[in-house]
Structure 1
Amino acid sequence: MRYAALAAAGALLAGLPAAGASEVAVPEDSRTHLAVTVYGNQLALVQDRRRIVLDTGEQSLSFTGVSRQVIPSSAFVAATEGVRVLSLEHRFDLLTPEALLRRSLGREVGVVRTHPTDGTETVEPAEVLSVEAGVVLRYRDRIETGVPGRLVFDAVPEGLTPTPALVATVATDEAAERELDLVYLTNGLSWQADYVLELDDDTGRLTLTGFATVHNVSGTSLPGASLALMAGDVRRVSPPGMPPMPTARNAAVMAMEAAPDAMEREAIADLHLYTVAEPVTLADLETRQLALLSAADVPFTRSYVSESRPSVMRPVRRDAAEDHPEVRINFDNDPETGPGEPLPAGIVRVFGRDAGDALRFLGEQQIAQVPVGRSVELAPGRAFDITVSRVQTEFTRAGLADDAFESAHRITVGNGKDQAVTVTVVELMTGDWTILAESAPHTKTAADRAEWSIEVPAQGEATVTYRVRVRR
């Protein structure tokens, strides 16, 4: 019996023909066009056009080089006139050492041992009895567990393939060269928007640059693809596959590259499609960054907001609680002042410049999809020099209904800046509430929100007090 040595990860076996193979190969080098549309939820649509000479009658065509995370039930072949597609089969039993052992149950393999002193190799035949929780081998005179050396096999069992393949059975009336489109959905590809927002406090203007960060963990490289990105929510019935975690071995290919020009955008149904002008190669286990949009000289406002839920139904016996208000950056997605473009969901990273004109990171926030005409509010961090302290100064239930509570509160805002600021203080009320008395008028902006706009002088402080009655 002749044996072919099993090298690392089946590399040598990749060139061996599978037993009983009869289909016609449609390899990747027959590809004439590759289009990939990537969605934001670990999903992509692949349209793979290949040219092949078809004979008259029925034949099986093996499309190799498809995604390892293909969704089999989504695949179909779009054929030209004169070609009928009869069936489509997904070959996903990949050629791996584990699969090779599993398919060799009850068959004879060769066990290679190396002499420890002179390095000579001997091959001893053995039958594979089991591969459950380890390997069990029957030799001519004994049974052993484990593999003392390495195993060699004389052939690749039928049905194992080095790479995933989709096999289409087609029928034609006459022999001719044809182009066939293999179309399928696959897990393992996704994209998200990432934004760089630079603030200029001197002018009250900002610059916004958007990038599309595309991830490919599908197990397959996609060379020279016409790439498009779909923004919006697309419902999925089947759950997305679990992407593999990057390892130290592949960390180097996680580098990001930027495209020179922004993408072309068009509305399609109720979504937005971004198309890359030039072909893009998406290598497996790669993250690539492409220019999406840009806008300069966009007006913005900065505000400070402190929100709290006061204790209005029980007494609080502790010192005043102090915190720092959130910094809020607001701008309108306006066609006149900018950006004036739909903003896909993503992370906005906020930057500013110091006195030496060096760029400094100020914080980040995830945003949802922002249509044109809506406002964007970011809360990248908290104000260091502004403090807000709250204290419950009184609580009573005397003379009130069983479901009523009354309490008094004091809010003190301190400002350590060299210029005056305005701080919006928000009290999130519980139950049916009524403000009985207050040192400054509030605004009821929602059923549970009482807001005070407090002007605080430079290097000073300001106080607001209120009394509230609440019914449970």
Structure 2
Amino acid sequence: MVSSTYDLGMSSSGHLLTRFLGKEVELVYHGMDGKAGERVKGTLEVAEPGNIVVKAEGKYIVNPNATIEAPTNAGIVTIPQLSAEVESKSGGPTDLAVTYMTGGLSWNADYTATLTPESENMNLECWATVTNKTGTDFPDAQISFVAGSPNRAVRVSRGESLAYEYRSAAKAKSDQSGFSFGQSSDYGLKAQAMGELYAYPYKSTATIQQDQMNRVRMMGSETVQVMRVYSVALPGISRDYVEFNSNPDHRISATMGINFANLEKSGLGKPMPAGAIRVYEPDKEGAVRYIGAATLGDTPKDARVSLTLTDVFDVYARARQVSAKKIDRRRTSREVEVKLSNEKSRPVELRLVQNFGNVWKVVSESSKSQKLNAWSNQWKVTIPAGGEAKLRYTVVLGG
């Protein structure tokens, strides 16, 4: 390519008229019956909003009550158009492949998960939603959905970016049937490494029409092993303060989430693009109910996923400080009791997380704990169906 010119086209009829300033136009007057009558040729002198002046027959006609007709052979481009000057070793007609970047094309991934009642499986599907705001159609396009966050040297709008590779032969057949992804029985898209990004090429071609949002299934599995996780974040305590509610009957509702792994044996095992995940579960009558949503980040193969979906009102905790003792100027001992309640018809393992601050040591506990990090601890306690359980521990804070 030697040079290129991009014409932005016309944004309005007023914009179009300004391109005919100083050029010949024709005024067409219409009668009461709507039929064209007198025609007057002249030169367009002024073309502003609400202010049109045409010079004709030795006089100026200001804001004529007529239709202005302009020639179409004036070399004026009304829609965005790219012109290029290319150098070729040989002359004659040839097919031209054009590759370019454009704004206005975007895509985002979202997931639909349906839990299987009384089992550890779920049906998971990933869908890509394509939005075309470019102002033009892309017939017979080859599409690759690219996941990742490449740096850009220009300002772009927020949201997921879409890399489309669009190659159209000069004699490509136009498909006016709308956005079409063919009839292949295998809708799963295979991820391909592309530098530090991942591309999901679509197997067939598709027509992407402007001002449309369309969806295509990227991947899915009906046998994803999933674990329900019930958790309670206990109020924080430290050497100098306690955040427990003064009312010992104050309930701290549990949250319910799910854990699963992006494994090939579960029907996944490929990089999963970031997106919202909405989770459903059938009720006793078989009606599918929405139970919560979360955001899934870009997830590599074999990685574990933990998502918090919803609050649970029939599994809860009530925490209180039983005693506190100042050991010395820098250390305080606190004894805590947590009553756990489960109103469900099945046992629940409840995960309890306690934040202690910087320096702490659990010196006694009714259930074995696990240190999560430098400032927090967790316990896992099984609560019987329709029953209660207790956790009691003593911690020395400060040092």
TM-score (norm 2): 0.77
How many residues of Structure 1 are paired with residues of Structure 2 in the alignment? 372
Residue type of the partner of 1:188?
A: G
Q: Which ranges of structure 2 fall in alignment gaps of 5 or more residues?
A: 160-177
| Match among 221, 228, 235 for residue 302 of structure 1 | 228
RCO comparison, higher one (Cα < 8 Å, 6+): 1
Distance of 1:395 and 1:122 partners within structure 2: 101
| Match among 275, 281, 297 for residue 346 of structure 1 | 275
The answer on whether the counterparts of 1:258 and 1:289 sit within 8 Å (CA) in structure 2 is: no
1:335 is aligned to 2:272: no
Distance of 1:190 and 1:282 partners within structure 2: 12
The within-5 A match list for 1:185-204 is 185-204=101-120
Residue equivalent to 1:162: 78
The within-5 A match list for 1:19-418 is 85-94=1-10, 96-103=12-19, 131=48, 134-137=49-52, 152-155=68-71, 160-172=76-88, 174-241=90-157, 260-261=185-186, 262-312=188-238, 313-314=240-241, 318-320=246-248, 321-392=250-321, 400-401=329-330, 408-418=335-345
Distance of 2:278 and 2:329 partners within structure 1: 51
Distance of 1:227 and 1:190 partners within structure 2: 12
Moved more, 384-393 or 424-433: 384-393
Distance of 1:293 and 1:357 partners within structure 2: 25
Distance of 2:84 and 2:122 partners within structure 1: 54
Residue equivalent to 1:17: none
The within-5 A match list for 1:422-437 is 422-435=349-362, 437=364
Residue type of the partner of 1:191?
A: W
Distance of 2:102 and 2:51 partners within structure 1: 37
Distance of 1:227 and 1:237 partners within structure 2: 24
- Deviations along 1:251-297, whole A, 9 cap, x unmatched? xx899999642234333333322222221111112222222222232
Q: What's the offset of the Cα at 1:435?
A: 3.7
Moved more, 364-373 or 207-216: 207-216
Residue type of the partner of 1:152?
A: I
Residue type of the partner of 1:319?
A: N
Q: What's the offset of the Cα at 1:221?
A: 0.9
The answer on whether the counterparts of 2:30 and 2:66 sit within 8 Å (CA) in structure 1 is: no
Moved more, 423-432 or 366-375: 423-432
Residue type of the partner of 1:341?
A: K
Q: In 2 relative to 1, CA 353–126 (structure 1 residues): closer, same or farther, beyond 3 Å? A: same
The answer on whether the counterparts of 1:103 and 1:157 sit within 8 Å (CA) in structure 2 is: no
Moved more, 414-423 or 259-268: 259-268
Distance of 1:407 and 1:266 partners within structure 2: 55
Q: Which ranges of structure 1 fall in alignment gaps of 5 or more residues?
A: 1-84, 244-252
The within-5 A match list for 1:432-451 is 432-435=359-362, 437-451=364-378
The answer on whether the counterparts of 1:257 and 1:288 sit within 8 Å (CA) in structure 2 is: no
Residue 2 of structure 2 aligns to a residue whose secondary structure is: strand
Residue type of the partner of 1:304?
A: Y
1:460 is aligned to 2:376: no
Q: In 2 relative to 1, CA 376–446 (structure 1 residues): closer, same or farther, beyond 3 Å? A: same
Distance of 1:306 and 1:113 partners within structure 2: 79
Distance of 1:184 and 1:461 partners within structure 2: 64
Residue equivalent to 1:421: 348
Residue equivalent to 1:23: none
Q: In 2 relative to 1, CA 164–397 (structure 1 residues): closer, same or farther, beyond 3 Å? A: farther
Distance of 2:19 and 2:320 partners within structure 1: 74
Q: In 2 relative to 1, CA 258–199 (structure 1 residues): closer, same or farther, beyond 3 Å? A: farther
